[in-house]
Structure 1
Amino acid sequence: MLNWCSLNSPEGGLIISVRGLNEYSPDESSLKITLLRAVGYLSRKDLSSRVGAAGPLIPTPDAQCKGWNSFEYSLIPFRGNLLDHLRNAQDFSAPLIGVTMPKETISKEVFLPPKEGFLELKSNKILLSSLKQAERNRSWYVLRLYNVSEESVETILRIGFQYKEVWISNLNEEPLKKVEGGNGEVKLDFKPYEIVTLMFRDITPKSGS
């Protein structure tokens, strides 16, 4: 697993989201999660998972990881479709981090509205991968989304900031097609498991009254 693993049926199941080792072992009705990976030797030749040694036998006493250890996991029981609940797993394993914008980066005094979302996706099957400045042109910002399902998904992206224009780009951050849309909403169509990259030019916060 990368961020989560799950045992599920058509009625529901359990998601385990991790902030640590990504190793697990499933069987018919249970999941085994590796909390700590510790070894006394490298390249032992008596392992059940490998025939013979992989190189010289090297003692690694400091790799025993003795002492106190802490682990962070989230158990998410759910009903219904697994794909409708993966955003909860992502929120735990890769939470958003808030930062303070330096005052000198704002060209004018801005009064933020009392309540506003930065981005809102109407479909739970579309997840956020990244939001960052473009690598080559720093006046552009890159938003990358992906479809976690095996079905095509049509959704609306609600945008809580101002921008001059938005384009669909490839993964190399090369704009391909200008997106038409107003009132802070963009309609997006995703193929199964597709990654969609949007590039916004000159974004600024929305002002409140």
Structure 2
Amino acid sequence: MLRPTKAEINELPPFEGLPLSSITLVDNEAALKLARKALVKADCLGFDTESKPTFRPGERSDGPHLIQLATANRAFLFPASYPAGVELVLEILQSPLVKKVGFGLSGDRTLFRKKYRANLSHLVDLSVTLKTAAKLKQPIGAQASVAMLLGQRLSKKGQTSNWGAPVLKEYQLQYAANDAYAAYCVNQVMEQRAAQVQQGN
């Protein structure tokens, strides 16, 4: 596999992410109940976080401000301002029974250790996994991975928006959900290809 150029990625069709109807913002008890039911029985979840960007020299982020977990057909977004939701997230992220997949996760490990004193378990960094599989020199980010394995273009336009805002806009919800969902989809394709190789042997 070859890493696609930015020009090649721009020529691809948009990533077919989740619609708003499949995205749940977990900021109340009813949403929390729905999230728990869907997430605790999962064996693999797409995982990502968003933090409010910093612009001043020396300014430190107190993120993550939003934590995303995605299944095969739903995404759940947990604002850090909702303690009950964060409690569920920490339970899942520290569980050795649930595989969590994402991109560039070393920073997330550090964030959770500093902010919540939590040691994340059974975390798979697809940037590193795909780098090894493709025999490349550098880790591969989400956008390039989606292009390589799904043949689609993952938009990063919402990356630097205000994730600490009390009310998130629809485009932020979709951006955040689909970052985690993209990781889930990439992992599924990688597992399918690995299984095909094993069957071929």
TM-score bracket for the superposition, by shorter chain length: under 0.3
Q: Which has the higher strand share?
A: 1
Q: TM-score, normalised by structure 1?
A: 0.21
Q: Which has the higher helix share?
A: 2
Q: TM-score, normalised by structure 2?
A: 0.22
Highest RCO, 1 vs 2 (Cα 8 Å, sep ≥ 6): 2
